Amino acid sequence: MSAHQSALPVRRLGSTDVTVSAVGLGCAPLGGLFTPVDPVTATATVDAAWAGGVRHFDTAPHYGAGLSETRLGNALAPKDRDAYTLSTKLGRILVDHEGQWDLWAEPNGKRAEFDYSYRAAHDSYRSSLERLGAERVEIGLIHDADDHRDAALEGTYRALAELKAGGRIGAIGIGMNSTEHAADLIERADFDTALIAGRYTLLDQSALDRLYPLCLDRGVSVIAAGVFNSGILADPRPGATFNYAAADPRMVAKAQAIAAVCDRHGTPLRAAALQFTAAHPAVASILVGARNPAEVDDALAMYAHPIPGALWHDLKRAGLLAEEAPVP
């Protein structure tokens, strides 16, 4: 058992019986995001997370056109199935495709296409179970429905609600990168959880306006992903990425100013980024993406890193953090 084990509380999602560890492993990188990942390394990454107390693993058919689900399933195969929580996503189906595809560096003859129909949701769920080698998934999320909200509610949501009523999924929710569209869906249907990437971080607190208050009001537990805004909060150098594109100079300057305050308090920026996001009362868990065991170990160490209260005070005083943002 690693030193981090005791540092991961377990939280319930909404009013369901589904629980997640306070830090979960985001498994998009295991599908070969940007660069290939050796399957042995993928398994070692999951093992490192497990050793650190992580018991929530999030994937999607979209990630590497099924590669992430397959690798995660293989890595978890020896583990006690009742000891962890799986989440995957619906709203895309895999189709035949030759050559390179999108952000994924390991072509496998497939790519994902949007399909929010009721039938596609059921097909997608069955295919995910096959790739994961699992009889069930605890959390089903509607994936990236920003521009397809009506279709997603008519098709994918109806299928998920049925799967939940039939005891085949424990919690249902959305997985998105936006705040307004996410809030719109939450107002229109019954969800247990919302996986939101990059909208409540040291650089972007847009979720404070409408989304997080709405989640608190409706008892929707947030799983917060993208805590480093795709890289800039891990290493705020010129050319760093923010939301998967090159960050503009103002954003880099702000990240560097935050890093300077952290330095003064002897705190790594990564620690402040993780713990800030985790401190909001709407957030049940933060999701950290990793492509190797070292990244997992670093994230768990940063999550447990002591941070002086004065650091948050100084960030707010310097106007680098929203005054109303809850801090650890």
Show which residues are catalytic.
58, 63, 89
C-alpha span between 225 and 63 (Å, rounded): 15
For tokens 């935050």, what's the residue? 258
- Give the contacts of 255 (CB within 8 A, at least 6 positions apart): 202, 203, 232, 233, 236, 240, 247, 269
Name the amino acid, one letter, at 187.
Answer: E
Nearest to 117 by CA among 144, 173, 157, 70: 157
End-to-end alpha carbon distance in the chain: 26
What's the rounded Cα separation, in Å, for the pair 70 and 76? 10
Element of type H or E holding 23: strand 23-26
Tokens 């972007």 appear where? 204
- Phi, then psi, of 187 in degrees rounded to 5: -70, -20
By the 8 A CB rule, do 141 and 175 touch?
Answer: yes
Q: φ and ψ at 172, to 5 degrees?
A: -125, 150
